[in-house]
Structure 1
Amino acid sequence: MENKKETDWRFKVANREALIGCALALANFIWWFGFAYGMGSRPVEEYKYIMGLPDWFFISCVLGFLLITVAVIIVVKFFFTEVPFEEEEEIR
Protein backbone atom coordinates (compact mmCIF):
# COMPACT_ATOMS: atom_id res chain seq x y z
CA MET A 1 0.00 0.00 0.00
CA GLU A 2 1.38 3.39 -1.01
CA ASN A 3 1.93 6.12 1.50
CA LYS A 4 -1.07 8.47 1.25
CA LYS A 5 1.11 11.51 1.96
CA GLU A 6 3.24 10.76 -1.12
CA THR A 7 0.28 10.33 -3.45
CA ASP A 8 -2.10 13.07 -2.34
CA TRP A 9 -1.68 16.20 -4.46
CA ARG A 10 -2.96 18.37 -1.62
CA PHE A 11 0.29 17.92 0.31
CA LYS A 12 2.29 19.49 -2.53
CA VAL A 13 -0.11 22.44 -2.62
CA ALA A 14 0.03 22.84 1.17
CA ASN A 15 3.83 22.69 1.23
CA ARG A 16 4.14 25.26 -1.57
CA GLU A 17 1.72 27.62 0.15
CA ALA A 18 3.49 27.17 3.50
CA LEU A 19 6.81 28.10 1.88
CA ILE A 20 5.21 31.18 0.31
CA GLY A 21 3.84 32.17 3.73
CA CYS A 22 7.27 31.74 5.33
CA ALA A 23 8.85 33.83 2.57
CA LEU A 24 6.32 36.61 3.18
CA ALA A 25 6.98 36.53 6.93
CA LEU A 26 10.74 36.63 6.33
CA ALA A 27 10.38 39.54 3.88
CA ASN A 28 8.28 41.40 6.45
CA PHE A 29 10.90 40.83 9.15
CA ILE A 30 13.76 41.96 6.89
CA TRP A 31 11.82 45.12 5.93
CA TRP A 32 11.02 45.90 9.57
CA PHE A 33 14.50 45.14 10.89
CA GLY A 34 16.28 47.01 8.11
CA PHE A 35 14.37 50.23 8.54
CA ALA A 36 13.87 50.08 12.32
CA TYR A 37 17.50 49.41 13.17
CA GLY A 38 19.06 50.97 10.08
CA MET A 39 17.34 54.35 10.28
CA GLY A 40 16.53 54.15 13.98
CA SER A 41 20.15 53.95 15.07
CA ARG A 42 20.76 57.61 14.19
CA PRO A 43 20.91 60.23 16.91
CA VAL A 44 17.46 61.53 17.87
CA GLU A 45 18.36 65.01 16.67
CA GLU A 46 18.65 63.69 13.09
CA TYR A 47 15.20 62.08 13.00
CA LYS A 48 12.72 63.31 10.43
CA TYR A 49 9.02 62.98 11.17
CA ILE A 50 6.18 61.66 9.00
CA MET A 51 2.66 62.30 10.33
CA GLY A 52 4.15 62.96 13.77
CA LEU A 53 6.08 59.67 13.88
CA PRO A 54 9.83 59.22 13.47
CA ASP A 55 10.59 58.30 9.85
CA TRP A 56 12.16 54.97 10.79
CA PHE A 57 9.05 53.96 12.74
CA PHE A 58 6.64 55.10 10.05
CA ILE A 59 8.51 53.28 7.26
CA SER A 60 9.22 50.09 9.21
CA CYS A 61 5.91 49.68 11.06
CA VAL A 62 3.18 51.64 9.27
CA LEU A 63 4.32 51.46 5.64
CA GLY A 64 5.69 47.93 6.15
CA PHE A 65 2.33 46.77 7.51
CA LEU A 66 0.48 48.27 4.55
CA LEU A 67 2.88 46.75 2.01
CA ILE A 68 2.83 43.27 3.55
CA THR A 69 -0.96 43.39 3.75
CA VAL A 70 -1.19 44.18 0.04
CA ALA A 71 1.41 41.48 -0.73
CA VAL A 72 -0.55 38.86 1.24
CA ILE A 73 -3.80 39.79 -0.53
CA ILE A 74 -2.11 39.51 -3.94
CA VAL A 75 -0.44 36.19 -3.09
CA VAL A 76 -3.65 34.65 -1.73
CA LYS A 77 -5.68 35.86 -4.70
CA PHE A 78 -3.29 34.77 -7.46
CA PHE A 79 -1.02 32.03 -6.09
CA PHE A 80 -3.05 30.06 -3.56
CA THR A 81 -5.56 27.45 -4.68
CA GLU A 82 -8.67 26.17 -2.99
CA VAL A 83 -8.19 22.63 -1.75
CA PRO A 84 -11.02 20.33 -0.63
CA PHE A 85 -10.62 18.88 2.86
CA GLU A 86 -12.82 15.84 2.29
CA GLU A 87 -11.15 12.50 1.71
CA GLU A 88 -11.33 11.41 -1.89
CA GLU A 89 -13.05 8.09 -2.47
CA GLU A 90 -10.59 5.53 -3.76
CA ILE A 91 -11.51 4.24 -7.20
CA ARG A 92 -11.53 0.45 -7.24
Structure 2
Amino acid sequence: MAAHEKKDWRFKIAHREAWIGVGLVLFNFLWWFGFAYGLGSKPVSDYQYIWGMPAWFFYSCIIGSLIMIVLVIVVVKAFFKEVPFEEGQEEEKS
Protein backbone atom coordinates (compact mmCIF):
# COMPACT_ATOMS: atom_id res chain seq x y z
CA MET A 1 0.00 0.00 0.00
CA ALA A 2 1.37 3.37 -0.98
CA ALA A 3 1.85 6.11 1.62
CA HIS A 4 -0.96 8.22 0.19
CA GLU A 5 -3.55 5.41 0.32
CA LYS A 6 -5.55 4.85 3.45
CA LYS A 7 -7.16 1.61 4.46
CA ASP A 8 -10.83 1.35 3.53
CA TRP A 9 -13.02 1.80 6.64
CA ARG A 10 -15.18 -1.17 5.57
CA PHE A 11 -12.33 -3.61 6.24
CA LYS A 12 -12.52 -2.89 9.98
CA ILE A 13 -16.22 -3.77 9.98
CA ALA A 14 -15.65 -6.85 7.82
CA HIS A 15 -12.88 -8.13 10.11
CA ARG A 16 -15.02 -7.64 13.22
CA GLU A 17 -17.94 -9.46 11.63
CA ALA A 18 -15.66 -12.26 10.45
CA TRP A 19 -14.38 -12.78 14.02
CA ILE A 20 -17.97 -12.87 15.26
CA GLY A 21 -18.64 -15.57 12.65
CA VAL A 22 -15.62 -17.55 13.82
CA GLY A 23 -16.91 -17.31 17.39
CA LEU A 24 -20.31 -18.64 16.32
CA VAL A 25 -18.68 -21.56 14.49
CA LEU A 26 -16.57 -22.42 17.53
CA PHE A 27 -19.61 -22.26 19.81
CA ASN A 28 -21.54 -24.52 17.41
CA PHE A 29 -18.71 -27.05 17.26
CA LEU A 30 -18.25 -27.12 21.04
CA TRP A 31 -22.00 -27.56 21.57
CA TRP A 32 -22.20 -30.36 19.01
CA PHE A 33 -19.01 -32.09 20.18
CA GLY A 34 -19.95 -31.86 23.85
CA PHE A 35 -23.33 -33.48 23.44
CA ALA A 36 -22.40 -35.90 20.65
CA TYR A 37 -19.35 -37.32 22.39
CA GLY A 38 -20.43 -36.57 25.95
CA LEU A 39 -23.80 -38.31 25.86
CA GLY A 40 -22.96 -40.49 22.86
CA SER A 41 -19.94 -42.16 24.43
CA LYS A 42 -22.09 -44.41 26.62
CA PRO A 43 -22.96 -47.96 25.60
CA VAL A 44 -26.01 -48.05 23.33
CA SER A 45 -27.97 -49.98 25.98
CA ASP A 46 -27.62 -46.93 28.30
CA TYR A 47 -28.88 -44.35 25.79
CA GLN A 48 -31.86 -42.21 26.66
CA TYR A 49 -34.27 -41.36 23.85
CA ILE A 50 -36.20 -38.20 23.05
CA TRP A 51 -38.89 -38.46 20.36
CA GLY A 52 -37.34 -41.75 19.25
CA MET A 53 -33.87 -40.26 18.78
CA PRO A 54 -30.87 -40.82 21.03
CA ALA A 55 -30.53 -37.91 23.48
CA TRP A 56 -27.02 -37.13 22.23
CA PHE A 57 -28.34 -36.69 18.68
CA PHE A 58 -31.37 -34.69 19.79
CA TYR A 59 -29.32 -32.22 21.84
CA SER A 60 -26.31 -31.97 19.52
CA CYS A 61 -28.09 -31.82 16.16
CA ILE A 62 -31.72 -30.79 16.68
CA ILE A 63 -31.47 -28.39 19.63
CA GLY A 64 -28.00 -27.23 18.51
CA SER A 65 -29.35 -26.28 15.09
CA LEU A 66 -32.27 -24.36 16.59
CA ILE A 67 -29.97 -22.51 18.99
CA MET A 68 -27.59 -21.61 16.16
CA ILE A 69 -30.45 -20.33 13.97
CA VAL A 70 -31.63 -18.04 16.78
CA LEU A 71 -28.06 -16.95 17.65
CA VAL A 72 -27.23 -16.07 14.04
CA ILE A 73 -30.43 -14.04 13.67
CA VAL A 74 -29.79 -12.15 16.93
CA VAL A 75 -26.11 -11.53 16.15
CA VAL A 76 -26.80 -10.30 12.62
CA LYS A 77 -29.54 -7.93 13.79
CA ALA A 78 -27.58 -6.65 16.79
CA PHE A 79 -23.92 -6.56 15.72
CA PHE A 80 -23.70 -6.53 11.92
CA LYS A 81 -24.11 -3.35 9.98
CA GLU A 82 -24.86 -2.67 6.36
CA VAL A 83 -22.01 -1.18 4.37
CA PRO A 84 -22.05 0.07 0.79
CA PHE A 85 -20.12 -1.87 -1.82
CA GLU A 86 -19.54 1.10 -4.12
CA GLU A 87 -16.17 2.83 -4.11
CA GLY A 88 -15.87 6.32 -2.70
CA GLN A 89 -18.80 6.30 -0.32
CA GLU A 90 -18.00 7.87 3.00
CA GLU A 91 -18.41 6.23 6.38
CA GLU A 92 -21.82 6.82 7.92
CA LYS A 93 -21.73 8.77 11.18
CA SER A 94 -24.43 6.71 12.91
* Superposition TM-score, scaled by structure 1 size: 0.90
Higher normalized helix content (fraction of residues): 1
**Could you tell me which amino acid in structure 2 is paired with residue 18 of structure 1?**
A
| Contiguous gaps of at least 5 residues in structure 1 | none
1:45 and 2:42 aligned: no
Query: Deviations for 1:29-82, whole angstroms, at most 9, x for unmatched residues?
Result: 000001001110001111111111000000000000000110000000110000
Q: Please report the RMSD computed on the Cα atoms of aligned residues, expressed in angstroms.
A: 1.4
* 1:14 equivalent in structure 2: 14
Deviation at 1:89, TM superposition (A): 5.9
Deviation at 1:2, TM superposition (A): 3.0
Percent identity over paired residues: 62
**Could you tell me which amino acid in structure 1 is paired with residue 72 of structure 2?**
V
Residues in 1 aligned to 2:89 and 2:82: alpha-carbon distance in whole angstroms: 19
| Contiguous gaps of at least 5 residues in structure 2 | none
Residues in 2 aligned to 1:26 and 1:58: alpha-carbon distance in whole angstroms: 19
Aligned length: 88
